[in-house]
Amino acid sequence: MLEIHRLATRAAFFAPEIERLRAEWAADDAHTAAALDGASVLAGHCELCSQATRFTLVGGADPNWRESQTCARCGLISRVRFAFLLADLPALRRGDAIYMTEQTTPAYFWLLRAGLDTVGSEYVEDPTRRELLSNYIRIQTGGLESRLRHEDVTRLTFRDARFDRLFSFDVLEHVPDHRAALREFARVLKPGGLAVVTVPFDVNAEASLRRASIGPDGTIVHHVAPEYHGDPVADAGCLAFHTFSWDLLNDFRGAGFDAVELVLGRDAEGGLRGLQLAILASKSVR
């Protein structure tokens, strides 16, 4: 059973009852990791697949709970499955649409296979690379799609209120002007629409860290040691411009979202161990 806690502020995250829960979970995870004794597979039940499955871990004695617990059936890691479960996908009706800021990933292909009306995009400026990725998409989708869609998340080409759900997984930290991206996310969502966003999130910090920015001459200015993350569509890693913290929730509010929360989730049996966090932001109907 998925247990979730919706937290609107840093204070809520550090409230005694939430601190106690997190300590309990951490102890349970440590116990589980120790009992695995080097094995990398946990039996369980995937809520997304609605079936018994096995979850594969990476990280050895200290499992990377956020980036693994990969379900043997859907092939999705815990962070992505958690985000999909929060989005209440079964509530979507015929004609409802989803936007996702990725198009070459297992998560995107899963949405397509689930028969959901989904538009995905990547940020790829190099035409040769676009061509290669288009081929990859054609193969992965069995010809259902054959063109990589290039989008700049700070200047989306979609009309207003086009989508019912929006997913963006570990993308925003790579966008220099992340507030412009959030305004675009709010713009393309329908009233009543829901965005589920993950980013590496520093729960301890009071404010986000600006790691780098774009200088007046267009070059990158580093404010701290550069940090690069793996990028599925680029060989070189992708520079992180931010390490986000709680003020990011205010940036969502400032961009036009009404209810914005950091959701903490747990389903030990369901392959959602560790600190599962996602931002859930909705636009009210008005």
**Backbone phi, then psi, for 273, in 5-degree steps?**
-95, 175
Between residues 71 and 182, which has the closer beta carbon with respect to Zn ion? Answer: 71
Between residues 77 and 98, which has the closer beta carbon with respect to Zn ion? Answer: 77
Residue 35 neighbours by CB under 8 Å, 6+ apart? none
What is the closest distance, in whole angstroms, from the C-beta atom of residue 88 to Zn ion in the complex?
17
Between residues 74 and 148, which has the closer beta carbon with respect to Zn ion? Answer: 74
Between residues 106 and 200, which has the closer beta carbon with respect to Zn ion? Answer: 106
What is the closest distance, in whole angstroms, from the C-beta atom of residue 174 to Zn ion in the complex?
27
DSSP string, 109-164: HHHHHTT--EEE-B----HHHHHHHHHHHHHHTTTS---PPB--TTS--SPTT-EE
Which two structure tokens, joined as six digits, stand for 192?
Answer: 């009543």
What is the closest distance, in whole angstroms, from the C-beta atom of residue 48 to Zn ion in the complex?
5
Say if CB 90 and CB 162 are below 8 A apart: no
What is the closest distance, in whole angstroms, from the C-beta atom of residue 74 to Zn ion in the complex?
3
What is the closest distance, in whole angstroms, from the C-beta atom of residue 72 to Zn ion in the complex?
8
What residues does 279 pair with on adjacent strands?
Answer: 197, 262
Between residues 78 and 208, which has the closer beta carbon with respect to Zn ion? Answer: 78
Residues at the interface with Zn ion (CB under 5 A):
46, 48-49, 71, 73-74
Between the alpha carbon of residue 143 and those of residues 59, 99, 138, 231, 232, the distances in Å are 35, 20, 5, 24, 20
Say if CB 254 and CB 179 are below 8 A apart: yes
